[in-house]
Structure 1
Amino acid sequence: MKPVLRKGQLTTWKDDKGFGFIRSSDGSQDVFLHITALKETNHRPQVGDVICYQLTVGKDGKIHACNAFIEEFVSKPILIGSSFAIEKETFQPKAKYSLMFEVLLLSLLPALGAMHFALTTFNPIFLILYPVMSFITFALYADDKSRAKQGRWRVSEKRLHLCELMGGWLGGFIAQRRLRHKSRKVSYQVVFWVIVAIHLIFWLDWLFFGRRLVDLFISIVSRG
């Protein structure tokens, strides 16, 4: 089978298992796509993505996609003979400064709250918790993306959200922007931003509204 570059739309994607199906542009066939067949992309596949791919025959005798890439998330493809190469997407300086500004903006309130908490209670727990959990959460994101590319068993979303809730949400945010992982999955983003809102409301209450939520949280923890 000649390695012709084809194009189709991703109609099915099972993110937890790392595979799905591409509907060819002429609608004549559905082609199996495994996550390991995607080359040089930092974007997690989503239903509706336009996939460029070649065809190959797998060990099971069925036609599979290979040498695939998501059209809008790579630089222009360069055809070389019967195969193709892709210019690797880079993290542009503008995006870097934008990320720094977003991180500064999101971390300002928790940082002030954590410092105020440490000064008034003589307990630096949050000053330690946030950096440590953010580092752990970032590492889990990176590990999950690596596993996805290799087609291995994934880090569960519940585990990622738990780490975010325990203070690692800022590390999760940086990982989403820097690694471009979990940033387009709507259901994941909804839970993530609810967790961020919980932390921000917690510190707003601590600094400005009489600490009612903080006292409630402490009473619940002490009872537990």
Structure 2
Amino acid sequence: MAGRITDWNDDKGFGFVLPNGGGVRAFVHINEFQRASRRPVAGDLISYLPSVDARGRTNARQVRHAGQLIEKPRTPSRVPRAALGICALAAGVAACAAGVLPPLLLAAYLALSVLSYLMYRSDKLAARRDAQRTPEARLHLVDLLGGWPGALIAQQRYRHKTAKQSFQLTFWATVVFNLAGAACIIG
């Protein structure tokens, strides 16, 4: 179908599309746009495949801007997030066993990783239910304090927050700052 985007909220990455010629408006999420697409704005003309979710709501799937060529389906992320998170925690255990990392710091990383994992899981479940979400700043704070290995595992496990570039840029900055802070504490 063809339609026009209305009520686009770029911060949250969603809006609605009204079909040309009238009909039921459909929910549209940024993840449904082809990867090479520019950011949508209200008023954009798009084509989409309408679908109905479990709650009977109409959603726009396989969205592309008018005139945009069809792209092959998305490939999974190339960043092995879960493997990186598990390796980081394993390296922490090994560094602690070697006497390089203080046990209290390892305990903090483990506890914050569990907390971060649970926060990402909770946020993903809330997103599915259209419930109140965990603020991104709170996720970033826990990651900055040392929860980033658990966040990596959760991001891959729940496929959550992996496509939003602004979130990922801030996330990786928190990892760098956390590691720099840990190096200062140890060194």
Which band: TM-score by shorter chain?
A: 0.5 to 0.7
Matches within 5 A, 1:70-219: 70-71=61-62, 98-104=80-86, 106-107=88-89, 110=92, 113-115=95-97, 119=99, 123-203=102-182, 206=183, 213-214=184-185
> In percent, how many aligned pairs have the same letter?
26
| Aligned-partner SS, 1:68 | strand
TM-score, normalised relative to structure 1: 0.53
| Matched AA of 1:53 | P
> Which consecutive unaligned segments of at least 5 residues does structure 1 have?
1-5, 36-42, 56-64, 73-93, 207-212, 217-224
How far residue 202 of structure 1 moved from its aligned partner, in angstroms, is 3.7
Query: What is the SS of the residue equivalent to 2:57?
Result: strand
Check if 1:13 corresponds to 2:9.
yes
Query: 2-side partners of 1:131 and 1:50: how far apart?
Result: 46
Inter-partner Cα distance in structure 2 for 1:10 and 1:45: 13
Residue in structure 2 matched with residue 221 of structure 1 by the alignment:
none
Instruction: Give the aligned length.
Output: 159
- Label 1:50 to 1:132 Cα distance change in 2 as closer, same or farther (>3 A): farther
Give the CA deviation at 1:101: 3.8
Summarize deviations over 1:53-99 as a string: whole Å, max 9, x none: 258xxxxxxxxx93426338xxxxxxxxxxxxxxxxxxxxx98xx45
| Whole-angstrom CA distance in 1 between matches of 2:103 and 2:16 | 50
Q: CA deviation at 1:168?
A: 0.6
The residue correspondences of 1:24-103 to structure 2 (distance < 5 A) are 24=19, 31-33=25-27, 47-48=39-40, 51-54=48-51, 66-68=57-59, 70-71=61-62, 98-103=80-85
Q: Give 1:38's aligned residue.
A: none
Q: TM-score, normalised by structure 2?
A: 0.62
